[in-house]
Amino acid sequence: MRPQRAQRTRGNKKLGPRFLRAFLFAAEKHSGQTRKASTIPYIAHLMGVASLVLEAGGDEDLAIAALLHDVVEDCGGAPMLKEVRRRFGARVAKVVDGCTDADTYPKPPWRERKEKYIRRLRQEGPDARLVSAADKLNNVRSIISDYRAIGESVWSRFSGGRDGTLWYYRTLRDEFLRHKSNRITRDLELAVCELENLVQASPINDPNSIFGPEV
């Protein structure tokens, strides 16, 4: 039998030299950075988000924005957004800006920053919302994997702790679901639900466990 060829989705654009330049740019800017409390290079997260965007039908601009969605927040602030616009165009820069919750240093306090981002997300267009949802889906899946491996200690990695982190992703899920659902937002809903179920099933949250109720 002949191997099946990958099906092309109408409207998708072929990835070209701009995508490669964006990948190299992201790899350079995030060089030395790793995912929280791990040795995993941060570029792995960016590739994961770009993959989700492409699988959901995103075009080259959105795939590039996915690769660069954290470059302003983590690699230079507002001046970096100008560089993104110069190198990759206004549409990419607009999406990256729509995925950024802080462009100044030091960053505002965690809760204040997240609440402001959620309010801002309500005004963003479908491009930014798609890339942002892919980012959050990749994050939640990573938390699930790490929770299965190390349990409650995973929350020490996050500024919001357990309660703040769960609040953030629940609120984001609800915000994304206010609009017409798509492949990414449906998967995000499932992932947040799975994380909630894991946490609820943990012995530390069982009032009848030897640890007693959590306070």
Return the domain boundaries, the chain: 18-204
Predicted structure pTM score: 0.88
Tell me the per-residue pLDDT of 115-172, one tens digit each, with 9 for 90 and over: 999 999 999 999 999 999 999 999 999 999 999 999 999 999 999 999 999 999 999 9
The active-site residue out of 60, 61, 70, 73 is 73
* Active-site hit among 59, 74, 115, 189: 74
Q: CA–CA separation, 90 vs 29, rounded Å? A: 20
Active-site residue, 74 included: yes
pLDDT of the residue at 202: 81
3-state secondary structure at position 11: coil
- pLDDT (0 to 100) of residue 38: 85
Collect the ranges in the chain with pLDDT lower than 50: 1-11, 206-215
Q: Which candidate, 124, 140, 134, places its Cα nearest to that of 190?
A: 140
pLDDT at 204: 67
> Residue 154's CB: how many other CB atoms inside 10 A?
20
The answer to whether 135 is a known catalytic residue is no
- Are the C-beta atoms of residues 188 and 139 closer than 8 Å to each other? no
Q: Phi, psi at residue 200, to the nearest 5°? A: -65, -30
Tokens, residue 43: 């570029």
Q: Please, what CATH class does the domain formed by 18-204 belong to?
A: mainly alpha
